[in-house]
Amino acid sequence: MLIPSNQVLFKRKPVQYLPRPVIEDESSEVWVISETNEVFTSYEPYLHRMDFYKQRRFICEITGHSGLNFFEALRSETEESREVNNSFPDALREPILRRIQFSTVSRVDNLVDEIYEEFKQDFYPGEPVLILLEDSTRLHGTIRDKANFAEQLYADGTIKTPAYARYLVKILDRPNEEALLDQEHITRDRKSFTKLMLRGFIKNNVTRESWTGAPWLVKPSVAEEYKISTEVPKHLQYGAKVAEKKAMKKADQDGFFGFFASQQLPELKPAVKGQKAKMSVQDMAKSREAQYQEYQRSLNGNPSFLLASNPLRPSKPPQVGDKKMPFAPDAVIKDESRPSSPPPIKYPIEDLDLVPIREKKQRPTLKFLMVDESDDDGTEDLLPDDLEPESVGLLLETWDTLNVYCEVFQLDSFTFDDFLQAMRFSSEEIDCELFVEAHCAILKKLVNSEDEGGAVQISLPDFPVDESDESEEEEDEEEEREEEEEDAESRPERMTTRGSLAKQEADTLKAQVDDDSIEVKIHRAAEMFGKYGWIDRLRRRDFRNGGWELVMIGLLHQLSVRPRAEKICNDILKHLAPLDAEPTQETAREQYRTLDINLRAKGLQMICMLSLETKAIRNYMEECSNQMTEFRKEKIEHQKARKAALVELRQLHQERKAVQPEPEKSPSPVPELEEGLEDSKMTGIEGDSEMPVDSDEEDDRRPRALRGGVDRALERKRKQEEERERKEQLAKQPKGSKQYQRVLKKIDDQKAKIEKLKEQIETVENDLREADCPRTRCLGLDRFCNRYWWFERNAMPYEGMPNSSTAEAHYANGRLWVQGPDDMERAGFIEVTDEQRKQYQRHFQTTPAERKKHEEGPTHVSSAREWGYYDDPDAVEQLIDWLDSRGNREFKLLKELHLQQDLISKYMNNRHAYLTERAERAESEDIVPAKRVTTRKRTYVDMNEHRLRCLRWKNTTALSEIGHLHVDPDRPAKRTKRAADDTRETKATRGKPLTRQGSRKG
């Protein structure tokens, strides 16, 4: 049976082909898979095998491409194998394969590096080479013969002459001439032998089994061609490796040298699935201490630590007349080497296993959410500042949701400071447009309008049964009870027993409990709705004059049926529909005006979470996901174009050197070329043998837009100045030939093209960041499991929407938030058991709780419901200095903070500048009273002249897209257009030529 020589991988293992069955009847019908030459005598197994081959779970071994079916992977492997075999030098194939055979280097990358360094300056007969002459000219030649000379040593073992080789080279540029050269005057063409080609050649011709320590084996067909032995040595076979491991394990347990192995080894526990078993720092310290004590006992002459001549077998006791081996235990101990030091700790490790720093190095002081002086300026339009710690997380969650999905809600973006001020705003004369529009926009997504069918978009619990129905049921039960009593009177009396008395007493107690369990009326929310329910009001968009407040009451009343939401809903409804007020629409409006900020935050957060269930949000997330796929493809195309442009730029510089009129004495390096070469190293341009090859995945993990910051900008400015000086020097020199001038013009055009592609890549990366809306990612955790959040990191523009009414603020949140650990993390790391606390105290002279209190300083957050923040760039710098990169969690956190630090600092400064400017403007306008216009119903105030920032926010998005605010009812003129374009609201701006940052670049 002919089996394909190429090995397609399935789950990273070669596909095993089925053996050919025994066919007794030659005339019987069989089914054959031509690609694998597998034969089947029945149709069902053939179908099952074809289904297996058609799964997109196979991998091409040479290219590493995954997600292919078997036939695509086999085709890819065959084509790549043919290409690799045609391009790889013939003279190097046999020596490299012989060198790799039975090698035990574990990773293919390390094997490629090792082979490449070994053969980089080694040449073989028949190989084309370049001859380097003293005048720097190069000639083409072919190796005819090679002589190796071994190294020579002095008597003391030092090297006298290193090993070298001499090559007899036929010079092709000079017929009938040969030269005897060493390896210093011979080199290869760069493109003939590279790490990328070597990697493909190894994957194509060499294989390796999956067990640890398995040797590399040349494929049998290739080994037979080059007469390479395929018999694996016994010490490299699987059985020998297993036996060796068992022997080493037993020797470690028994101890090779009595006093080097501890008799008190740490207790080994089975590792959790998916994790590696690793000794903790405490166990390693115990082991080292026990080793040292045993070593000290051995030095004191303890006979139980005497060494045998062979550690693996006991030696015979020394005889009296034995002259070869006299009994001298002191000499044995003296000649024995000192115990090896424990292996160095490989960082990063668990953060709390690091030794605490005894210096007074504390985390910078946290700030907590309080009303700024600019907010609390004595105005009567703000509610009292009694914000609970639990409400901070609700406010942040709501603000983030409204800004991420502002295009769905048709809201202008707004800053967190304005949002917090709007949540506290309360006035009898005017409404805060930000506060009202946020509620109305969310409510409109929960239920469609009448023109759209009026369907409810969320799941609601069954509404409680009306009291009238309950009274009717009670009347029916009373009638049945009276009939039963009449029947009982007509029947003869039964004898009273102990059992009947007990049963009667139980029934009496049950009736009393039922009477006591009658629900006490705590609010009048149910009385606020008659035939015109809250859903009908929401369908008609009847929000004015307390309409949306009434919808909120009805929604919360229905949600209170759920056990989890019952307490929160009832607390809000007690204030909105009190027992001592009439259940009217005006009552709802007045009570919502005086509602506590904590209850406001809970109510708004509840409807925000309900909106995430709607079809509009789901369609928006799906649209963003599809758009991200397109952005990734676009980014890959730009990266490929940029790589090609960099290669062309390098060729143009080579051409420039060739046609340059006269060599420059001290030519300054070309900045753009250096940058291009540096980028090409990261993106893997072929052509330089010493250039490491990398994949585009690293570019995805480390966006260029966040990589350099201020340092990179200064470096680029310095390079531009050097380039300008170089051009001035060139301008003073003779112009040279026209060809030279044409090359210079091409180089400038190519640099402009590369810079344009770089800007396009940065633009696409920013679009990817803004489209990543399914979840908000934290920057990381510190040693005490506090989470660090920068909410502008994903799914929103850094400065808010560019067409927002408050876009001049130039920031969105402007704070680095710190959230405390959750209950599980606190129980696992901080509030440990008594035994773990004593053990930690013994090793570090402190407990985790004491360490947290000492290292975090006077301010800390103790649970996930508590939040603090930093709003000063200097505090962020101090935080980075406080973190320790040797810990697992803080290593990742530091990496993210370094990437985002410049942006965080920029928008913190923007926030300070905006708030300071607003405060100064409010002070200057304090003398002039705001203009007021009084009508019959209410007083209107000019919002643009009001001192509160939240009143200057306008929902321009709703005005431009639907022609009116959300609080106003739909206009008839707009209904036809909206019905025809029902999918508009679910599509993001990202799917259009314009992005959330404005127009796309280039």
What's the token pair of residue 753? 């093209």
DSSP labels, 849-892? HHHHHHHHTT----STT-EEEE--HHHHHHHHHHS-TTBHHHHH
Taking the C-alpha atoms of residue 472 and residue 493, their distance in angstroms, rounded to an integer, is 32
Which has the minimum average pLDDT: 105-109, 338-342, 601-605? 338-342
The pLDDT-based confidence of 279 (bands split at 50, 70, 90) is low
* DSSP state letter for 192: G
User: Stretch 138-167: mean pLDDT, rounded?
Assistant: 86
Residues 299-319: tens digit of each pLDDT: 555 444 444 444 434 444 444
Taking the C-alpha atoms of residue 417 and residue 659, their distance in angstroms, rounded to an integer, is 63
Which whole-number Å values give the CA distances from 412 to 678, 912, 996, 999, in the listed order?
A: 42, 22, 12, 18
pLDDT score for 307: 42
Strand partners, 206: 218
pLDDT score for 943: 55
Which has the minimum average pLDDT: 62-76, 634-648, 953-967? 62-76
pLDDT score for 276: 46
246 CB neighbour count, 10 Å cutoff: 10
Sign of the four-CA dihedral 301, 303, 305, 309:
positive
Q: What is the pTM of this model?
A: 0.58
pLDDT score for 255: 46
User: Is pLDDT above 50 for 427?
Assistant: yes
580 CA to centre of own chain = 54
Q: For the chain, give the mean pLDDT.
A: 78
User: Is pLDDT above 80 for 989?
Assistant: no
Name which of 799, 795, 792, 800 is nearest 817 in CA terms: 792
Based on its alpha-carbon atoms, the radius of gyration of the chain, rounded to whole angstroms, reads 40
Taking the C-alpha atoms of residue 413 and residue 800, their distance in angstroms, rounded to an integer, is 6
The pLDDT-based confidence of 547 (bands split at 50, 70, 90) is very high
What's the token pair of residue 166? 């001499």
From first CA to last CA, the distance across the chain in angstroms is: 59
The side-by-side arrangement of strands in the sheet containing 8-10 is: 13-14, 8-10, 58-60
353 CB neighbour count, 10 Å cutoff: 18
The pLDDT-based confidence of 847 (bands split at 50, 70, 90) is very high
User: Is pLDDT above 70 for 641?
Assistant: yes
Residue with tokens 């344009």: 756
User: Is pLDDT above 50 for 501?
Assistant: yes
User: Is pLDDT above 50 for 586?
Assistant: yes
pLDDT score for 880: 94
561 CB neighbour count, 10 Å cutoff: 14
Taking the C-alpha atoms of residue 587 and residue 592, their distance in angstroms, rounded to an integer, is 8
User: Stretch 41-70: mean pLDDT, rounded?
Assistant: 88
pLDDT score for 982: 45
* DSSP state letter for 964: S
Taking the C-alpha atoms of residue 813 and residue 829, their distance in angstroms, rounded to an integer, is 31
The pLDDT-based confidence of 578 (bands split at 50, 70, 90) is very high
User: Is pLDDT above 80 for 643?
Assistant: yes
User: Is pLDDT above 90 for 418?
Assistant: yes
Cβ(801)–Cβ(413) under 8 Å?
yes
**Environment class of 205 (CB within 10 Å of its CB; exposed 0-12, middle 13-18, buried 19+):** buried
User: Stretch 583-594: mean pLDDT, rounded?
Assistant: 92
Taking the C-alpha atoms of residue 606 and residue 146, their distance in angstroms, rounded to an integer, is 82
Residue 250 three-state SS: helix
Which amino acid is located at 430 in the chain?
I
DSSP labels, 776-806? PPP-EE-TT--EEE-GGGSSS-TT--TTSTT
* DSSP state letter for 274: T
pLDDT score for 487: 53
